[in-house]
Amino acid sequence: MENVYKGKRILITGAAGTIGSVLINKLLQQDVKEVKALDNNESELFYLNDQYRKEPRYNGFYADIRDLDRLKYLAKNIDIILHAAAMKHVIISELSPFDAVKTNAEGTLNVISAALESPSVNRVIYTSSDKAVNSTNVMGTTKLLGERLMTSAANLKGTRNIIFSSTRFGNVIGSRGSVVPIFYKQIKEGKNLTITDERMTRFFMTAEEAVNLVIEASLLAKGGEVFITKMPVMRIMDLAAAMVNLVAPKFGRRPEDIEIEFIGAKPGEKLYEELMTEEETARTYELQHMFMVKPSIPPIYEHIDYDCYETIISKEVDRPYISSTEQHMSVDDIKNYLIRNNILACLESGGHIAASSRKESSSHSYFYQEATNISDVSEF
């Protein structure tokens, strides 16, 4: 990491979000020269700036990636851009499609333009989503376009020594608006759990793991690739069972008294997640911690050497990376995963997962105490 980030000035878009805030914490632990945090959420930016008020290398700015002139100004003297700003909610994007296009597509184009106009920028990493794969909704389509714009930028950069690459990952477990905080709130409030469909499977990763993907991708990137991290798969029914068993006793509820209510899939929602298409398998390399998808039109990118990665396991991937075909975690595995990564302890304390970069659990935490007796908790 130090080879790329040591002494560098880094700009992070969407800095107050789940990924952005953990990126800030991670980078400030390194010997970076400056972390410039951009976000258009004034309230969250206020708290973020207050958190780092005594850190001289941190600077937080209110900015919107739709504003190209503002981005150009803030990108001056920056070395690396980590682009995490986005409209990420499927339903909101369906109801406000033009805004999704302006933020996720045009905003990404603005980031690219600002990077190309700043002589100092040498690396831009874009955070995409599993929703970009075989998309059935507006949000996923705009994220796919963002990926393609980044790949195209790697070819259209001219003689500039600058790298554009993308990362693609699944759900960040415990992030704002995700299923874990929703389940926790429903159990706490004495309600039953609501699930769209019992067949639902999802890829999950912690915010720390997502950030590690971005960091590793920035180290490996040659230009134009899409990096896909390897991550565990959970059945949503099993996740619900794990949550009920761990959380219900804390609020004086018996796990067996909590029922599951099936509410049907939301518009544009898939039963399983795809992180790689069938077509992409033919141009995918398997690396140690991730997959790397090469651009779809090889002649355009033939000047880029994709065969020099040090961690190549295989240059042949025979099937797409889909949650319904991967081995899923057991209920006990999920319980351990939630506790080991401090997910429930953070919710217990009323904190945001985004603000907690993997700390050791406190011995005062209810969930920490449960960890030693995890095998004694009955399944839902």
Dihedral Cα 150, 203, 206, 353, nearest 10 deg: 100
The DSSP code sequence of 332-362 is HHHHHHHHHTTHHHHHHTT--GGG--SPPPP
> Can 76 be counted among the known catalytic residues?
no
233-235 and 171-172 strand pairing: unpaired
Instruction: For the chain, state the CA radius of gyration.
Output: 21
For the chain, how long is the longest CA-to-CA vector? 65
- Spatial contact of 344 and 367, defined as CB atoms under 8 Å apart: yes
Q: What are phi and psi of 197, to 5 degrees?
A: -155, 135
Catalytic residue among 8, 88, 131, 270: 131
What are the strands of the beta sheet with 171-172, ordered from one edge? 171-172, 201-205, 233-235
Cα 330 from Cα 380, distance rounded (Å): 12
Closest CA to 180 of 344, 357, 16, 356: 344
Cα 132 from Cα 139, distance rounded (Å): 8
Chain-centroid distance, C-alpha 228: 11
Residue 14 identity = G
Dihedral Cα 12, 14, 15, 19, nearest 10 deg: -100
Q: How many CA atoms lie within 13 A of 66 on its CB side?
A: 10
- Spatial contact of 82 and 13, defined as CB atoms under 8 Å apart: yes
* Token couple for 164: 């554009």
Cα 345 from Cα 234, distance rounded (Å): 20
290-293 and 226-229 strand pairing: antiparallel
* Token couple for 73: 């100004």
58-62 and 233-235 strand pairing: unpaired
Question: Which positions are catalytic?
Answer: 131
